[in-house]
Amino acid sequence: MKEKPTNAKKNGGNNMSVKIYIDGQEGTTGLKILERFENRNDVEILRISEEKRKDSAERAKFINMSDYTFLCLPDVASREAVSFVKNDHVRIIDASTAHRINPDWAYGFPELSEAHREKIKNSKRVAVPGCYASGFASIVYPLVNNGIITNDFPVFAYATSGYSGAGKKAIAVYESDQKPQEFNSPRQYALSQQHKHLPEMQVISGLKYKPMFNPMVCDYFSGMVVSVPIQTRQLDKKVTIEKVHEMYSKHYENAKLVEVMPLMSEEEQKAFFLASNTLSGLNKMQVFVFGNDEQILLCSRLDNLGKGASGAAVQCLNIMMGIDETTGLV
């Protein structure tokens, strides 16, 4: 007997609920998206059977039955899934890197500008930002857009992240009793300057040249900080740390999930430690401005699984549905 799609959550008889399919629902991002629907009764989750979740024909059937499909897949599989769409009503939210710099797709970071938000709202194709790229763009896009740096400014960024974004195999090693000694330490990677987020970091932020990027994976589960240092002597016009902070505050003044943190005094900064896992399990982002008028350090803190992945995906869905963007998010 042919298995019928089933609901993850009953909708209490509400026939107006939208049908959601998650292609790749067994992965980290897919599972986190499912979690964010647990207490919602306005969506109906279509479930593919375990034995057929890699069957192309079955996946295509579920995609075309849905109102919205989340793609939580490798790039090649995401492109394949998009090719399955025959029903013009289906709207796709892709969590892979496959379509993030495709101009025909909306980039799923609504707080960057009103234009980004409107494109998400009206698009049938939305690409969810990468976690590192989210932190980077939250800092650099406003710098370029507000003329504090030019688009050819040499940008360097570094980041610390929990291991949850490293994939199932790496997670298993980190959580194993036989974890190698080196895994107790932060480990720098992508040293060839070819990290998969670099194209969107450059394009979305409006940079002429690719930034240098130094990410580190660390021995904690989730959360990250992306940092961008600025030597103000390299800027074309004089700025102060207060003016930079004021710019960010104005840029994000209406944002519900991005918060610009108060500017600290020199003494407060000396005593402060910026942890990377503070927002673990949450869907918001915090932007910090540290340093002084000569050397400014800009930091963005977020959960790589929240605002950096599944939380951003659900936020985009909410905007596309025309409801409060924070629905189902904490």
Supply the residues annotated as catalytic: 131
Q: How far apart are CA 51 and CA 224, in angstroms?
A: 35
Q: What pairing do the DSSP bridges indicate for beta strands 258-260 and 156-162?
A: unpaired
Supply φ then ψ for residue 126, to 5 degrees. -125, 130
> In one letter, which amino acid is 22?
I
Contact between residue 197 and residue 184 where contact means Cβ atoms under 8 Å apart: no
Q: What pairing do the DSSP bridges indicate for beta strands 224-231 and 156-162?
A: antiparallel
Give the pair of three-digit tokens for residue 27.
């992965």
Minimal CA–CA distance to 313: which of 276, 304, 259?
304
Which CA distances in Å does 156 have to 214, 262, 298?
8, 24, 11
Minimal CA–CA distance to 129: which of 157, 160, 165?
165
Minimal CA–CA distance to 135: which of 201, 51, 43, 214?
201
Q: Cα 246 to chain center, whole Å?
A: 25
Minimal CA–CA distance to 19: which of 78, 104, 91?
91
Task: Tell me how long the chain is.
Answer: 330
Contact between residue 110 and residue 316 where contact means Cβ atoms under 8 Å apart: yes
Query: Among positive and negative, which fits the CA dihedral 27, 93, 135, 39?
Result: negative
Beta strands in 103-191 (DSSP E): 106-107, 125-127, 156-162, 187-188
